[in-house]
Amino acid sequence: MLIHQISVTEHLNIILKNYIPHHSWERCAIPNTLKIKSGRDLPDIQSTLPDIRINLTRVGVKNVKKLVEVSRPEKRPVIFISNFDVFVDLPGSLKGANLSRNFEVIDEVLQQAIDGDVKEIENLCSVVARKLLDRHEYADRTEVLMNSQFMVKRETPVSHTSCHEVVKVHARAVARRTFREPIVRKSIGAEVTGMTACPCAQDIMKERAMTVLQNLEIPKEKIEAFLGEVPMATHNQRGRGFLCIEIDDDQHVKLEKIIRILKESMSSSIFELLKRGDESYVVLSAHKNPRFVEDCVREIAKKVLAEFKELPGDSLITIKQTNEESIHQHDAYAERQATMAELYVELNGEHP
């Protein structure tokens, strides 16, 4: 049997002839300008030479939305709502990068996480970065960024009421090609919301309370006992603490520890749902533990050294604290970036 192959244009004209009146046919006919030859591959435009031969540092895709499910042994899987940014470098000899490979790698690694082959969220980006080097043979550097929302189950301090909290998770990995195995640096971090109480305003209110109580002829020892149990009023801030730790690929940092350090470094944790006893506990705890924005950053740094003392000295620590003021229209901010070795020297005066 002889099969006659026709062009797309010829096929469309046959269809139009059957449905358009004869006197209108010539006016509506599609010019036969499209020719598709059977058996011919479409050209790979990305691999051609560009008009301007300049290397590009990062080429890729941004805001790739994925639902990330990470299996855990004998526990329910952890679910992250994530945005990915994925990049490779591009030599000046290529017009473009094959971006579809980025999506293929992400989906492949996410399936491995579901199957349990990638066991923790901390390793997800580094696995993607390594596989991108395999798929993009022309690239010397790959970079993966993941910004996620993670729902954490909480329990209030007094009534033990169950509630949830959204934590922002930040992960990044950079892989560089070498003559041997790729060199990978990865980072894991989180942003947690808490509460701070201003020490300065509290001290002012304490001085006023002492003056009033003395004028009422309250004995000094009773004034001191009272103020020791009932902290003075002050203005509060909603604080946003950020901690990120960058390490080599063979090192490991637990996300849960980062979240706990951030919560414990502000005046008090906050909760979505509070009963009356819980509310009293949170307010009292915050006012018994007043902290400036600077105090929060220093407290985080101290806890990082205590919690992650096994990390090598070149591990890079980034700490940020933003306090949204209640009596001002601005926000207070403090930041520190340093290696573990630098922080250790500052706190202890010598190398570990």
- Residue ranges per structural domain of the chain: 1-38, 54-198+235-348, 200-229
Using N-to-C axis directions, what is the helix angle for 293-307 and 255-264, rounded to 10°?
140
Under DSSP, the state recorded for 294 is H
Helix (H) or strand (E) holding 127: helix 124-135
Q: What is the pLDDT of residues 1-34, one digit of tens each?
A: 333 444 444 544 554 455 445 544 444 444 444 4
Q: What is the distance between the alpha carbons of residues 247 and 312, in angstroms, rounded to a whole number?
A: 8
- The yes-or-no verdict on residue 129 having pLDDT over 70 is yes
Higher pLDDT, 349 or 222: 222
Mean pLDDT of the chain: 84
- Tell whether the model's pLDDT for residue 110 goes beyond 80: no
**What one-character-per-residue DSSP string does 186-197 give?**
EEEEEEEEEEEE
Give the pLDDT confidence of 36-82 residue by residue, as tens digits: 444 566 667 767 776 788 999 999 889 989 888 877 677 777 888 89
- For residues 7 and 210, what is the distance between their CA atoms, to the nearest angstrom? 95
Structure-block tokens of residue 168: 């922002």
Q: Which residues contact 250 (CB under 8 A, 6 or more apart)?
A: none
What percent of the residues of the chain are helix, what percent strand, and what percent coil, each to the nearest 5?
35, 30, 30
Residue 84 has pLDDT above 80, yes or no: yes
State mean pLDDT over 293-306: 97
Arithmetic mean of pLDDT, 187-202: 94
> Is a pLDDT exceeding 80 seen at residue 350?
no
Number of Cβ within 10 Å of residue 42's Cβ equals 6
d(CA 224, CA 220) in angstroms, rounded, equals: 6
- Quick one: pLDDT band at residue 108, thresholds 50, 70, 90? confident
Look-up of token digits 């105090």:
295
What are 192's two structure tokens? 């947690």
CB 102 within 8 A of CB 143: no
Q: Which residue reads 């892989």 in tokens? A: 175
- 2-6, 112-116, 274-278, 318-322 — most confident range: 318-322
Two tokens at 216? 């009422």
The encoded tokens of residue 302 equal: 């101290």
**pLDDT value at residue 111:** 80
Residue 230 structure tokens? 């009932």
- Residue 255 phi/psi, 5-degree rounding, is -60, -40
Return the pLDDT at 229: 87
Beta strand 183-197 with 162-176: parallel, antiparallel or unpaired? Answer: antiparallel
CA distances in angstroms from 347 to 156, 236, 298, 341, 342, listed in the order given? 34, 29, 10, 10, 9
Cβ atoms 205, 234 nearer than 8 A? yes
DSSP 43: P
Q: What is the mean pLDDT of residues 274-278?
A: 92
Among the residues of 20-123, which ranges form H helices? 22-28, 100-115
Would you state the pLDDT for residue 8?
A: 44
| Residues in a beta bridge with 236 | 197
- Whether 319 has a pLDDT exceeding 90, the answer reads yes
Q: What is the pTM of this model?
A: 0.81
Q: Which two tokens stand for residue 156?
A: 């209030």
Cβ 51 vs Cβ 33: under 8 Å: no
N residues, the chain: 352
Residue 225 above 50 pLDDT? yes
Mean per-residue pLDDT, 320-340: 95
| Through-space distance between the first and last CA atoms of the chain, rounded to whole angstroms | 84
Considering the chain, what percentage of its residues have pLDDT values greater than 90?
Answer: 51
CATH class of residue range 54-198+235-348: alpha beta
CA angle, 346 as apex, 341 and 350 as ends, to 5°? 65
Q: Show the DSSP H helices in 234-289 as ranges.
A: 255-264, 276-288
Residues 192-206 have a mean pLDDT of 92
Distance of CA 139 to the CA centre of its chain: 25
Mean pLDDT within 178-199? 94
| Rounded CA separation 227/222 (Å) | 9
**Using N-to-C axis directions, what is the helix angle for 220-229 and 199-215, rounded to 10°?**
150
